[in-house]
Amino acid sequence: MGVYASIDLGGTKIAGALAAEDGQVLAQRIIATESHAGPPAVLARIARLIEDLAAEVGVRPLALGMGVPGLADLEQGVVKFLPNLPTQWREVPAGAHLAQALGCPVRLLNDVRMATLGELVYGYGGRGSGPMQGAMVFYALGTGIGGGLAIDGRLYLGPFGASAEVGHMTVVPDGPACSCGSRGCLEIYAAGPAITGQGVRLLLAGQTTCLYDLVEGRPERVNPAVMARAAALGDERVRAVLVQAAEYLGISVANAILMVHPRLVVLGGSVAEIGPLLFDTVRAAVAWRVGMFSAADVAIVPSQLGNRAGLLGGIALAAGVGI
Amino acid sequence: MGVYASIDLGGTKIAGALAAEDGQVLAQRIIATESHAGPPAVLARIARLIEDLAAEVGVRPLALGMGVPGLADLEQGVVKFLPNLPTQWREVPAGAHLAQALGCPVRLLNDVRMATLGELVYGYGGRGSGPMQGAMVFYALGTGIGGGLAIDGRLYLGPFGASAEVGHMTVVPDGPACSCGSRGCLEIYAAGPAITGQGVRLLLAGQTTCLYDLVEGRPERVNPAVMARAAALGDERVRAVLVQAAEYLGISVANAILMVHPRLVVLGGSVAEIGPLLFDTVRAAVAWRVGMFSAADVAIVPSQLGNRAGLLGGIALAAGVGI
């Protein structure tokens, strides 16, 4: 079985792995991005990381799949634009550069689409005996909200890999302005910072009960997961914040279901760590908002792979599975 | 070139046609549904209509494609449920029945999905030299709002032919209750009756200028097309109604684009007859609401086929093209 390499490039960290085509990870490592050094230096760090992993395992990878936090042209192997990295990351031919450095083919993809590929091939989507039939929608609910769409066992990318931007679908027509230029996007209501911000607001206003104790009164410890623990312990105001965010997410999931009627909706990222309260609320919203057909057959499930979805998606990308 | 038959079954009328595989119509006719007579009688009327058309042309069809106003199981050839016809239309094996009567294969589909197939194969979607690459979304904007989705030159139906229910995606979280059981669906704001109702309300309140003259004060003459003429002649209040409906439609189209990034969005039905005011407003909404990538490459166009989309879709369905 062939060995492939994967890179998940982030604004502050680079995660790298070598794995077999079946998803068995042979070696992995995380290093700092040091993005201030500019694209050539970062690409050199990536190449060295792969070389180090290959030396550790004693096998050279057949190909590399790399996810980037922004737009990438899969066909050309070019990084188009990374909103959270320095502006030099525009039209960077990272694929060709790394292919030359490593002596193997390199494929680039948006990081959330790459995580979708991981879920499709190695997560719930890969549970069947053959390629998954029907559609799968993935939500990456973190600092922002990204998404991915797969149809009949293959990632569906659209003209330049930008489909399934679920975080920027309008849920409130006249809602607050979003960084994307629109208003009332899902991300405003259900991304991690929105939920955490509401939790901090309640904390500072002295309106929480259990949450205060759980974070020992320290706002910087507030996050969706600890808010969910507080809600479970009876903190009603915190619970209301989580339910409201989940209801907006439920609108988005219902709309996605009405559009592509997937068999599977996978929710991942820090917001999904809210757990049953989030999933139950989303499922309830879907049950009453999807009235044109029964959505009872749509499984709405947490990510099985968690943080590993991206790196494993890179292995599938490198191996050309599901894409 | 083979000759195929098509039926578009409606609550009050049945349209039938015989056409060549290239879409050239050889004969067509419209008869009353007489749905009160029950499914067997209606199916007998359909079979006779096809026989009459075949006799007229002097050629027997190789297959029949039939659209029904509700849910149909394509694989089984069973009408599942038609909300606007008598309740006997549940689990009716119409495909097998008609196949026996006509001596040819019969395929069933939801009528809006069948119209989508028409647009895909014989409308804008069929303009290229091969199957259309990328996605196409069709909106049927009439008494209700239905939709259809095609991907890479083939209709995308989902598990039981129910995908692309664009009329029931939520556009206002706490909007009025919809017949589907949800709230704030697009259909509430942008279907024909919603727009016409607003026009009638203005008319009866004496708040229109040109519209009053165009319909000679008669509310039953109000419809989206005549409202568009009034708006073009300077009736500002009527114009505001149309723009508002178009903005809600624009939210839905923007959300659909963010989900599947189609190359083509086709708007058909009586509401599309509003014309440039509708299309310009939708395009403007899409331009600012789709901020994550450029939607400038997405063509948002009126139906080329109009009323004929359904019947022509039935020909494609019968011939097995695009499905």
Task: Give the strands of the sheet with B3-9, arranged side by side.
Answer: B25-32, B13-20, B3-9, B64-68, B106-110
Residue A165 contacts B where some CB pair is shorter than 8 Å: yes
Q: Is A284 on the interface with B (CB under 8 A)?
A: no
Q: List, in sequence order, the alpha helices (H) in chain B.
A: 39-57, 94-102, 111-122, 186-190, 192-204, 210-214, 224-232, 236-260, 276-289, 308-319
Beta bridge partners of A106: A64
| Element holding B300 (H helix, E strand) | strand B299-302
ipTM above 0.90, yes or no: yes
Q: Poorest-confidence range of A134-138, A178-182, B159-163, B171-175? A: B159-163
- Contact with chain A for residue B244, Cβ under 8 A: no
Q: Are A252 and A124 in contact (CB under 8 A)?
A: no
Interchain CB distance below 8 Å, B158 and A261:
yes
What is chain B's pLDDT, residue by residue, as a tens digit (323 residues)?
A: 799 999 999 989 999 999 999 999 999 999 999 999 999 999 999 999 999 999 999 999 999 999 999 889 888 899 988 888 888 899 999 999 999 999 999 999 999 999 999 999 999 888 777 788 899 999 999 999 999 999 999 999 988 787 899 999 999 999 999 999 999 999 999 999 999 999 999 999 999 999 999 999 999 999 999 999 999 999 999 999 999 999 999 999 999 999 999 999 999 999 999 999 999 999 999 999 999 888 999 999 999 999 999 999 999 999 999 99
* Nearest by CB: A261 against B151, B159, B297: B159
Identify the pLDDT of residue A159: 83
- Considering only CB atoms, A134 lies closest to which of B159, B171, B293, namely B159
Closest in A173, A183, A259 to B163, CB measured? A259
Name the residue among B163, B183, B258 with its Cβ closest to that of A168: B258
Residue A129 reports pLDDT greater than 90: no
- What kind of fold does domain B3-117 have according to CATH? Nucleotidyltransferase; domain 5 (3.30.420)
Position A161 scores a pLDDT of: 80
Rounded to the nearest angstrom, the gap between the alpha carbon of residue B48 and the centroid of all alpha carbons in its chain is 26
> Does the pLDDT at position A46 exceed 90?
yes
Distance from CA of B84 to the nearest CA of A (A): 14
CB B79 within 8 A of CB B278: no
CB contact under 8 A, B259 and A259: yes
Q: What is the pLDDT of residue A195?
A: 98
At A100-113, the pLDDT tens digits run 999 999 999 999 99
Q: Does domain A128-304 have CATH number 3.40.50.2300?
A: no
Alpha-carbon gap: B192 to the closest alpha carbon of chain A (Å) = 19
Q: Is A176 on the interface with B (CB under 8 A)?
A: no
Residues in B touching A163 (Cβ below 8 Å): 259-261
Give A254 to chain B, closest Cα distance, Å.
7
Asked if pLDDT for residue A163 goes beyond 90, the answer is: no
Q: How far is B157 from chain A (nearest CA, A)?
A: 8
Residue A90 phi, psi (nearest 5) = -125, 130
CB contact under 8 A, A255 and B170: yes
User: With contact defined as beta carbons under 8 Å apart, do A115 and A307 qualify?
Assistant: no
- Per CATH, the homologous superfamily of domain A3-117+308-319 is ATPase, nucleotide binding domain (3.30.420.40)
A293 close to B (CB below 8 A): yes
B34: left (phi over 0), alpha (psi -120 to 50) or beta: left
Give the minimum alpha-carbon distance from B62 to chain A in angstroms, rounded to a whole number: 30
**From the CB of residue B101, how many other CB atoms can be counted at a distance below 10 Å?**
17
Helix (H) or strand (E) segment spanning residue A314: helix A308-319
- pLDDT number for residue B209: 92
Provide the shortest C-alpha distance from residue A236 to chain B (in Å): 22
Query: Is B256 at the interface with chain A, CB within 8 A?
Result: yes
Q: Looking at the predicted structure, is the pLDDT value of residue A245 above 90?
A: yes
Give whole-number Cα distances, A278 to A134, A200, A235, in Å. 25, 19, 15
CATH of B130-303, picked from 3.90.480.20, 3.30.420.40, 3.40.50.150, 3.30.1280.10, is: 3.30.420.40
CA distance A181 to chain B (A): 6
Q: How far apart are CA B289 and CA A165, in angstroms?
A: 12
B255 Cβ under 8 Å from any chain A Cβ: yes
B259–A256: do the CB atoms touch at under 8 Å?
yes
Put the strands of the sheet holding B135-141 in their side by side order. Answer: B154-155, B145-151, B135-141, B264-268, B299-302
To the nearest whole number, what is the mean pLDDT of chain A?
Answer: 95
Taking the CA atoms of A262, A266, A272 and A275 in sequence, report the sign of the dihedral they define.
Answer: positive
Residue B285 in contact with partner chain A when CB distance is under 8 A: no
A288 vs B182: CB contact, 8 Å cut-off?
A: yes
User: Residue A168's pLDDT is what?
Assistant: 96
Residues from chain A that touch B166, judged by Cβ atoms under 8 A, are 258-259
Q: Do A265 and A298 meet the contact criterion of CB atoms below 8 Å apart? A: yes
Is A154's Cβ below 8 Å from some Cβ in B?
Answer: no
Per-residue pLDDT, B82: 87
> Mean pLDDT throughout A221-229?
98
Distance CA A86, CA A93 (A): 16
Q: Do A292 and B168 touch (CB under 8 A)?
A: yes
**Residues carrying CATH 3.30.420.40, chain A:** 3-117+308-319, 128-304
Q: Where in chain B is the domain with CATH 3.30.420.40?
A: 3-117, 130-303
CB distance B11 to B84 below 8 Å: yes
